[in-house]
Structure 1
């Protein structure tokens, strides 16, 4: 298996150090940078790599870094976002722009490792993407018309309250349908559900 690098971009030194310790402890090759500009100025030459970046940083913010990497490296450098300032619309926007995962601080170290391993595995084989698309499409076909409406609204980044207004149902009813959608789609998080929507080309 190819030894891919993981690059950590965060202005918080304690966060950088803890992530490096976590990744290197699992035998993953990792380097850290204190800012987006520092990272871009010393942009490594690796053809494939995984990037973990914070969103709010002095100077260039994480969202701009993500845009730059999309142009410079595209899908060969998947990006994982970690942030203490999360909201659903932003998470959906970032997922649509190519971010593979959106993780809120404080986070479980195993959650980071799971996401990083997923990125590295994806770099090893793109064939799994076709299988994931087919599986997601099959699960999507099991949704009822109302569940599909809720699914589409979630993929569009709407909150439960907004969905309730659009569909003329109560927020509590939206929660029930949302739970059913997550269960049928076998999604354990909103980011996973959005990724499924993008995978099958429905978002």
Structure 2
């Protein structure tokens, strides 16, 4: 599998354990930043009632599409190119769930902001937003390992970095989402869950 991630292999099981009871009555998922597709393939196999839409930036599409072609799951849809900052690249349909793992700390803060600004395009009332990854709280790192990870991220790309929960939550609230849960996960990560309270006008 191209772009295989050991971290995805480790965290896909605990994430699915949390998501399974929440997704019983949902049928469509847009995953932002699918990368290798490991989460999508594992989740879709265990949740056959869900149609899972893969997406990634254009530069990641070749590897993701090859993985998709090899796995051949009927409920995983062919990946689409999605630059979250480009309003024209977002799908025209709306989804029951938007899911993203380990992406916000890779994006620049400007791209995170534009991600949330564009989210209403694909959400309806009761859409669930699930975001997994490391977060800071009140400007503080939740662990020494996350502080070291922050240094590694910024050495690699000064625009990347672990985001403050309070800032991300405010971005979500600004587009009509209400926080449902902030769940502590292994390896100093969180799974944040919001629900869209009222469908926003398409922008």
TM-score if structure 1 supplies the norm length?
Answer: 0.39
Structure with the higher fraction of residues in helix conformation: 1
TM-score if structure 2 supplies the norm length?
Answer: 0.39
